[in-house]
Amino acid sequence: MRKSPKLVAWTLAIFLFFVPLSSASSYTFYLEPTDGMVELEIRQPGVSLKRMYFNIPGQNKRFVVRVDRIDADVDWVYDYFMISSTGMQGEPESVAFDIRVNKSWVSDNNIDLKTIALGIYDEDWTRLSVIPVSEDADFLHYRADPPKLEGLFALSGEPVLVDIRVTSPCNENDVCEPERGEDRENCPDCIRIVPGRCVPSEKYCIDDYLFRCSADGSEYSLERCEFGCAGDTCLLAAGGTSAGMAIALNPVFVSVLAVLLTVVIYLALLVKRMRNELLNVEEVKISHEDVKKIVKRKA
């Protein structure tokens, strides 16, 4: 059963309401009676449908074929067009379309050429395959054989699928293997505390804990830092709003500081001892002078 012109018009009106449009154009063909193949050509640029072929024997009166071309703002849809007719007697025995796609649309949208197809709507979208025919400097040309002449059509394509998976060097074998590119940033193997499976002498912070691997790589030691952990050391003081930054407890710095303090204390004790000895010598000299004075007086 053929759809009435009013039904076709209502279908187009509903479609235009729901699909955001940037432009729409109509092309009307007034045709004489025919008893065979009809070829209609649309010569305006920017229209994907270039020619229609249909065989309609026994058409003994004039009829009208209308093409409404719709440039819809829908992802990966090149364009829509609707074909309707008035006065056509029966369904065409065969239908074929010549369609074309601008190469710039294909490249701008990264369209996979194998996915270019013509869809027809009849309560739901049906995908129709297209046959590549030729190409020129600007367009790719296809042939399509839809099951009927009238309906809402969409020429579309899908973008090329890109594999964005990233291969991780981590093999999840509970062994930290830096030579494979494994580290604590990308592999749990390198942050597990498992004896015999750590990088020798490595140190790093996780939250407030400092992890240390022994020199032979046999085991981790774990230290909770009172004021937090940064880089590969525990912080010496808690960082406040006015502190600016915390002081890291560097083992080399602590060793040097201990040596300096030892030298300073030793020198201080040495100076004190020498001073005491000098004072004792002075007291002895004074005592001898007093004795001499007393002897002189008695004499």
State pLDDT tens for residues 139-185.
999 999 999 999 999 999 998 876 655 567 777 776 777 777 777 66
State the chain's mean pLDDT as an integer: 76
Pair (195, 245) in one structural domain: yes
Cα separation, 170 vs 187, in Å, equals: 5
Tokens 């074909």: give the residue. Answer: 83
The tokens describing 91, both together, are 């369904």
Lowest mean pLDDT among 121-125, 151-155, 246-250: 246-250
Which residue range(s) make up the domain with 41?
5-156
pLDDT at 106: 92
Pair (31, 146) in one structural domain: yes
- Is 162 part of a structural domain of the chain? no
Pair (110, 173) in one structural domain: no
Inform me whether the pLDDT recorded for 125 exceeds 70: yes
pLDDT at 166: 59
The structural domain count of the chain equals: 2
Q: Are 63 and 85 in contact (CB under 8 A)?
A: yes
- How many Cα atoms are found within 13 Å in the side-chain-facing hemisphere of 171? 8
- Compare 155 and 210 and report the one with higher pLDDT: 155
Pair (9, 136) in one structural domain: yes
pLDDT at 236: 81
Q: Are 176 and 197 in contact (CB under 8 A)?
A: yes
The tokens describing 250, both together, are 């560097």
Pair (37, 87) in one structural domain: yes
- Compare 20 and 288 and report the one with higher pLDDT: 288
Q: How confident is the model at residue 136 (pLDDT cuts 50, 70, 90)?
A: very high
- Compare 72 and 193 and report the one with higher pLDDT: 72
- Compare 71 and 38 and report the one with higher pLDDT: 38
| Percent of the chain whose predicted confidence (pLDDT) is above 90 | 29
Q: Which of 117, 134, 156 is the last residue of a domain?
A: 156
Cα separation, 286 vs 276, in Å, equals: 16
- Is 292 part of a structural domain of the chain? no
Side chain identity at residue 99, one-letter code: I
Pair (50, 152) in one structural domain: yes
Q: How confident is the model at residue 16 (pLDDT cuts 50, 70, 90)?
A: very low
Find, among 25, 36, 140, the residue nearest to 81 by Cα.
25
Pair (133, 211) in one structural domain: no
Q: How confident is the model at residue 250 (pLDDT cuts 50, 70, 90)?
A: low
- Is 243 part of a structural domain of the chain? yes
Note the pLDDT tens digit of each residue in 17-67: 444 444 457 889 999 999 889 999 988 777 789 999 999 988 999 999 999
The tokens describing 147, both together, are 């099951």
Pair (125, 194) in one structural domain: no
Mean pLDDT of 178-195: 65
- Is 286 part of a structural domain of the chain? no
Mean pLDDT of 83-99: 93
pLDDT at 5: 43
pLDDT at 41: 93
Q: Are 100 and 133 in contact (CB under 8 A)?
A: no
Pair (173, 110) in one structural domain: no
Cα separation, 234 vs 246, in Å, equals: 10
What CATH number did the domain enclosing 149 receive?
2.60.220
Note the pLDDT tens digit of each residue in 77-86: 998 899 999 9
- Is 76 part of a structural domain of the chain? yes
Inform me whether the pLDDT recorded for 6 exceeds 60: no
For residue 36, the tally of other CB atoms under 10 A from its CB is 10
pLDDT at 162: 66
pLDDT at 287: 55
- Is 225 part of a structural domain of the chain? yes
Pair (174, 248) in one structural domain: yes
- Is 89 part of a structural domain of the chain? yes
Kindly write down the DSSP assignment for every residue of the chain, as one continuous string: -PPPHHHHHHHHHHHHHHS-EEEEEEEEEEE--EEEEEEEE--STT-SEEEEEEEEEEE-S-EEEEEEEEEE--TTEEEEEEEEEES--S--SEEEEEEEEEHHHHHHTTB-GGG-EEEEESSSEEEE-EEEEEE-SSEEEEEE--S-SSEEEEEE--BPP-------S---SS---GGGT--TTT-GGGTS--TT-S-TT-EEEETTEEEEE-TTSS-EEEEE-TT-EETTEEBSS---TTT-SPPB--HHHHHHHHHHHHHHHHHHHHHHHHHHHHHHHHHHHHHHHHHHHHHHHH-
Cα separation, 46 vs 268, in Å, equals: 97
Inform me whether the pLDDT recorded for 102 exceeds 80: yes
Cα separation, 41 vs 97, in Å, equals: 10
Cα separation, 45 vs 13, in Å, equals: 24
Q: Which of 105, 122, 156 is the last residue of a domain?
A: 156
- Is 63 part of a structural domain of the chain? yes
Pair (77, 123) in one structural domain: yes
Inform me whether the pLDDT recorded for 268 exceeds 70: yes
Q: Which of 156, 177, 210 is the last residue of a domain?
A: 156
Pair (175, 143) in one structural domain: no
Q: How confident is the model at residue 192 (pLDDT cuts 50, 70, 90)?
A: low
Inform me whether the pLDDT recorded for 105 exceeds 50: yes
Q: Cα-flanking dihedrals φ and ψ of residue 294, to 5°?
A: -65, -40
